[in-house]
Amino acid sequence: MADSNAPHHNYKMFKCFNRKFKASEAGPPPDVKAVFAKYAQGGDRMSIDQFRTFLVEHQGESALTISDAHTILLQFTTRHPGEAAQHKKHVGGLSLQDFFHFLFLEEFNAPIRSQVHHDMNAPVSHYFIYTGHNSYLTGNQLSSDCSDVPIIKALQKGVKVIELDLWPNSAKDDVQVYHGRTLTAPVTLIKCLKSIKEHAFDKSPYPVVITFEDHLTPKLQAKVAELVIKTFGDTLYYPEAEDQMVEFPSPESLKNRIIISTKPPKECSESKSSKGKGSGRSSSEESGSDQDGEAIHSANAAEANSYQQSAPEYKRLITIHAGKPSGELKDALAVGDKVRRLSLSEQKLEKAAEDHGTDVVRFTQKNVLRVYPKGTRFNSSNYEPHVGWMHGAQMVAFNMQGKDKYNWLMHGMFKANGGCGYLKKPDFLMCKGPKGEVFDPKNALKVKKTLKVKIYMGNGWHLDFSRTHFDSFSPPDFYTKVYIVGVPADCGKFKTKIIEDDWIPVWDEEFAFPMTVPELAILRLEVREYDRSEKDDFGGQTCLPVSELKPGIRAVPLYDKKGEKYKSVRLLIRFHFE
């Protein structure tokens, strides 16, 4: 009995084994065929003029000229000669297969714009800024090493606010960077400063802000001032007048400049001596550790008499004066003549949003609000960023070491405006009514627009993953989860059907998302591979700012959990606004 079944069993195994290595070529979806037929006017080739008409009418590229269309076709055929016909054959235009291939290439058909296009001449307080928390940590908040490497990686991704915790070394004669009262191994301040100087503008020329969480004596503050001036030279910007500013400069005016934001040292000494023992908190609270800073404040108080000799150089370099709420939160949110930065933990922001939402919005129209993760996020996880953004918070500080979905959202949000690290805040967060009223995030709003997302298909997994990565004996079973993340009223989610046993899944499904605040909405896509017996495998993700989405059929590249782009994996999706 066993012998008679063996050949059939072996045949099945061989068939399965063969199938897993083969990715069947999927042809153009019906919509792509229909669009080609429409613009090629029924012919078997789309002329350059017809191609331009398609790009203008269907893809919304309204400024495109016939010369631009010709250049795009020339680049397409030059860079992809193996996939498309040679350029001389394109005198007659694109074939359907060439057209389909063109649509699937991000370099020609990306889902969002790649250029800076926001007005960059408003004060810094008018922008959301890509902000890191404890930027020097390589991993968790308690025991990972401190290094300049994560700082460099953050800058290369477009992060524009770098946080450094400053502590004395054991000899009290030098400054180290580490997460205080933890087992994190320190890195020298000078190493961090040099790496910032070298990589500050790798992604864009707009200013980098360094936030110091200062646990130093006045003498060491003077040393920090010396190191900062020596390292950055003319790149360092600080106001000519010693008085605190009444309005922040613009990102445009601060191109290729580095600025410092921290609590002025005189306030540290005064707060300790005037309020008495136990009344102050260490700057480590701002970093999220929520621990008393008695020793540091005592040291500051003890050396207060040296303030006149040492601390002024340090204070002089501070462009954005920082502080933390002391007393009533509503009083801390008062808008005065001078501009400043206020820092709140994620829990304090939630309380402020609940009790004083419009006060927070009013404060952020002129001043800077920084939000930081709560101290119990030891594993470098993150929080929902939209609470901060919908109240106008410019610096929503994130643990960039994390791999969570909130980190993906942060990366996605700051893909906007050419990935330069600064996003102009929506007008509704900046305007005031005739009686001084401002946007109230609690108010119910009408739907402004509906985004329709049609997911046609995906491709590239068979090139970027091993053949046995998802299943040992058969091709993967992919499906896509589709989310809108934004203000609570706009959040929604769907998922496609599961396409079994196919490296190139074709879903051809459309989903609609009505939105009240599309300016803050993010489209989140995540591909999973269905597994009956275990947790579904991860197959890629991306987050895209809805405000930047280009209409039409677009190639959407996917990223791994760390936010690194896959070489080949991408989805073909149509975006349509109503």
Query: Annotated catalytic residue: which of 90, 133, 321, 411?
Result: 133
CB atoms within 10 A of CB 110: 14
pLDDT of residue 61: 92
Whether residue 9 lies in the annotated active site: no
Tokens of 96: 């359907």
pLDDT of residue 340: 95
Whether residue 133 lies in the annotated active site: yes
Find out whether 217 and 174 touch, Cβ atoms under 8 Å: no
Question: Which amino acid appears at position 25 of this protein?
Answer: E
Q: Which residues contact 337 (CB under 8 A, 6 or more apart)?
A: 246
Question: Which amino acid appears at position 57 of this protein?
Answer: E
Tokens of 451: 């985004």
Which residues are 132's β-sheet partners?
398
d(CA 94, CA 96): 7
Scan for tokens 């669009």, then name that residue. Answer: 35
Q: Kindly give the pairing relationship between strand 522-529 and strand 368-372.
A: unpaired
Nearest to 177 by CA among 185, 189, 169: 189
pLDDT of residue 193: 98
pLDDT of residue 14: 45
pLDDT of residue 31: 96
Nearest to 491 by CA among 460, 462, 451, 527: 451
pLDDT of residue 248: 96
Tokens of 248: 């922040």
Tokens of 328: 């009533």
Quickly list DSSP for 165-226: EEEE-TTSSSEEE--TTS-PBPEEHHHHHHHHHHHTTSS-SSPEEEEEEE---HHHHHHHHH
Tokens of 508: 């051809």
d(CA 241, CA 255): 20
Chain CA centroid to CA 27, Å: 34
Find out whether 265 and 214 touch, Cβ atoms under 8 Å: yes
Tokens of 425: 């805040």
Query: Annotated catalytic residue: which of 80, 90, 117, 179?
Result: 179
CA angle centred on 213, ends 193 and 283, rounded to 5°: 165
Give me the helix-helix angle, 218-232 and 307-316, nearest 10°. Answer: 40
3-state secondary structure 83-115: CCCCHHHHHHCECHHHHHHHHCCHHHHCCECCC
Find out whether 395 and 369 touch, Cβ atoms under 8 Å: yes
Question: Which amino acid appears at position 152 of this protein?
Answer: I
Find out whether 349 and 393 touch, Cβ atoms under 8 Å: yes
Name the 3-class secondary structure at 283. Answer: helix
pLDDT of residue 327: 82
Tokens of 551: 């209409």
pLDDT of residue 22: 58
Q: Which domains does the chain have, with CATH numbers?
A: 40-109 (no CATH), 124-430 (3.20.20.190), 449-577 (2.60.40.150)
User: Which positions of the chain have pLDDT values less than 50?
Assistant: 1-17, 84-88, 90, 268-305, 307-309
